[in-house]
Structure formats: C-alpha cells, structure tokens
Amino acid sequence: PKAVMMTALMFAGTGLRFVPPVVTKMLVDDVLVPKTQLADVPVAPLAKLLGMLVLALVLSALIGAWMQSARGRLAAFLGSKMVFDVRSLAYENLQRLSLSYYDKQQVGGLMSRVGNDTEIVHGFIVDGIHFFVVNVVLLFGIGAVMFWHNWRLALWALIPLPLMVYLIRQFIRVLIIMFHRYYERRSRFMAVINDALSGVRVVKAFAQEDRELERYNQHNFDFYQAAYDAERTWAKIIPFFFLLMTSGSFVIWYVGGLQVLEGKVTLGTLTLFFALLGMFYGPVEALSHLNQWLSRCLTAAQRVFEVLDAEPDVQEAEDPV
C-alpha cells in the first residue's frame, strides 16, 4: 500500500507541474493582452479572472509541496527498509561462505561493498527512482502539451532530441566502464587501509612503515586517477551536450516570433512554449546527470549482488544427521 501511495503521489505531483504554464498562457491571452490592445475593456471582469488564476497558481504550489513532502517520507521509509534487508542478506551470506572465499577477497573490499555500496543503492532507491520516473513522465507530458497547442512549433522545438538520445546512450556505456574501475580501485584502497591498520602491530614489529606507506600511496594514486578520469570525461562532454540541448530555444525564438508577428500564434501560446521548453530542458539536463548517478548505482549494485550470489564451496546437506 505504501508503494502504491508513493507512486500515486509521484504522478499526481508531476501533473500539477503543468498547471503554472497553462495558467500563465491564460493570464497573457485572456487578461493582459485584451487590456493592452483594447482600452475600453472593463477592468473589473479581468481583475476577477486575474485573481482566480493567481489563486489557482497558489493552490497548485501548496498541494504540490504537500505531495512532495508525503512522497519523500514514504520513499525514505521504503528505501531504508529495502537497503536494511539487502545489508542483512549480504552479511548473512558472508557468514555462510567458505574460508576459500575469504582467501580470494580482501576484508576492506568486502566492508566497502556491504557498507558504502549499499549506501549508494539506498540513495538511488530513495531519490533516484523518483527522479527518473518524474523526469521521464515530464518529458512525455511536455511533448504532448506542446503538440496539442501547436504541433509545428513542437516539431521545431524537438529537433535536437534524437541526437541527444543517441549521445546519452553512447555516453552511459563509457561512464559505466569508468565507474566500475573507480569502485574497484576504491575497494582496493580501503582494503590496504584496513590491512595496515588491523596489522599495525606486525608492521611496527618488523619496521615496515615505509613499505606500507609506499603501498598506500600507490593505491591512493590509482584511486585518484580513476576518479579524475571519470570526472574529466564528464566535464569534457557535458557543456557541448547542454549547448545542443538549448539550441531548440533559439529556433523557437525565431520561428515562434515570426508566427506571432504574422498572427498565426498568440503571445500566450509562445509564452507557454518557452515555459514548457524550460521545463523540458530541466528533465533532459537531470537525465544527463542521471547517467552519472545511474552508472555509479549500477556498478555499486553489481558489487553488492556479487556478495549476495556467492555460493559456499562446502554445501551443507539438506537433512544433516
């Protein structure tokens, strides 16, 4: 029931986000433009309509804030409970695994998987799923509203979309590889720290501080290099991606402006399109950042499920004597 309620609040809150652009169009076409073009139009009816439209904006904002708060509380509970179960299952499976498994694994790496990687999965469950679903629904909803009001302008606005989708698909493959390398090196880095601090008495007894410092510096540099490569690739590509993303607004300024001058489109419709384009670019930008987030989460989830799926070498009998 809580998951169903969270889903319902998610979709209802997303639908409310279309209220401000539509109301803004009505404000321009039905209130502001008539008064500026026709001086003899009575003010009282327009002022009444203005008050009703502003009240609609206020109510939609208040209801949207309540829905977001309620959804956040439900997501926090469900996400925390789910990750609690995953951590419990992972630790339970670690207790059942044979000693040969631990001969192939480092304790620090296992600690990183059960602790840090499950925390990344938790963040994605609490915020990432909502983030993804809402932005995808917004993209389709914005496209539908734009085509409903003026399909020609909508086609002009969405010209960059196919190329953006292609670039996102190519980019996420590269990021997954890079973040998999990042998490592997982080796991080794944590394992070195754990080994050195756990066996600090042995290190000092044999005067191996310099050797351990050299090991630490090497793994620290590898960890740094993996993080730098991933972030550098992201920083190098994303500005051009955003430039391509916003190019549709330049087209709408010209094509839509010409249609307003020719009387084919109202000023309110053009205002609606710019508001919707602002909403449209927000989800696209968010989904581009989601590539990075999703890459981290998929890599972390894979590492966690490697622990969950590991089988002990010595299988116990189902009905032991």
Ramachandran class of 316: left when φ > 0, alpha when ψ lies in -120 to 50, beta otherwise: beta
Q: How far apart are the C-alpha atoms of 28 and 9, rounded to whole Å?
A: 30
pLDDT in tens, 27-76: 887 777 765 665 566 777 878 888 888 898 899 889 988 988 888 788 77
**Residue pLDDT, tens place only, 277-290:** 777 776 766 666 66
Question: Count of CB atoms within 10 A of residue 206's CB?
Answer: 9
* pLDDT digits 0-9 by tens, 203-253: 888 888 888 889 888 988 988 888 888 778 777 777 777 777 777 777 787
- Model confidence over 144-192: pLDDT tens digits? 888 888 888 888 877 777 777 777 777 777 777 787 788 788 878 888 8
Confidence of residue 126 (pLDDT cuts 50, 70, 90): low
Residue 38 has a pLDDT of: 57
Residue 266, phi then psi, degrees to nearest 5:
-80, 160
Q: pLDDT-based confidence at 255, cuts 50/70/90?
A: confident
CA 316 to chain centre: 43
Give pTM, 2 decimals.
0.55
- Per-residue pLDDT band for 125 (boundaries 50, 70, 90) equals low
Cβ neighbourhood burial of 258 (10 Å; 0-12, 13-18, 19+): exposed
